[in-house]
Amino acid sequence: MLGFDQQILDTRADYVNPFHVERGGILSLTSLSGIQYATYVGAPDNNTVPLGLAQHDQEEVDLYRAAPPWTYARRYPEYTSYPYIILGTVITNAIHPDIDGSTIVPGAPAYLASSGLITTVTTFSNRRVGTFDSLLNEASLRISADTSNGSTLRVGGRQSIVDPEPVTVPTAGWARLRIHI
């Protein structure tokens, strides 16, 4: 999920995403049967190519009843060109839960981790996606969600027939991230 404060300098929408995801994580390039698409990669390695940070929710949208553009609700229907941020500053909760919170300081490097999450270590991959610009769960961060029950990121699910239950992963909390992919 993304916080209120965003400075988006450059976005791209070169690939579709067939899966339902929540905004805030790092989308990577994946291929299936020769078709390339953008999604959260469950187990990235050093060959995984990060594309950018998911700017909107990707979920099932009733195109007959929804008033376009669907971006007013910050969501896109599946199999559309999906915008992702490649340069800018955002507040995100897509921080890997096993991270040492003391390593998130302004200027610390941010690397791609599993399921589109972000970390300060190269355990998952050496693909750098940006730089942290705040401390973890800093009091000055303006966030939009109730964090009393912990922080999670939806990485799949919420399809009405096929997969009605959302697939979420726990996160460590919120931080400001300067993205430069």
**Where in the sequence is the domain holding 64, given as residue range(s)?**
2-180
- pLDDT (tens, 9 = 90+) of the chain, 181 residues, equals 788 888 899 999 888 887 778 888 999 998 878 888 888 888 898 889 999 999 888 776 665 665 555 545 566 766 777 789 999 999 999 999 999 989 999 999 999 999 899 999 998 899 999 999 999 988 888 886 555 556 777 776 655 555 556 778 888 889 999 999 9
> Which distant-in-sequence residues (6+ apart) come within 8 Å of 162 by Cβ?
none
pTM here is 0.84
Helix (H, G, I), strand (E, B) or coil at 51: strand
Distances in whole angstroms, Cα of residue 74 to Cα of each of 91, 112, 167 = 15, 23, 19
Q: Which positions ≥6 away from 65 have C-beta within 8 Å?
A: none
Tally of domains within the chain: 1
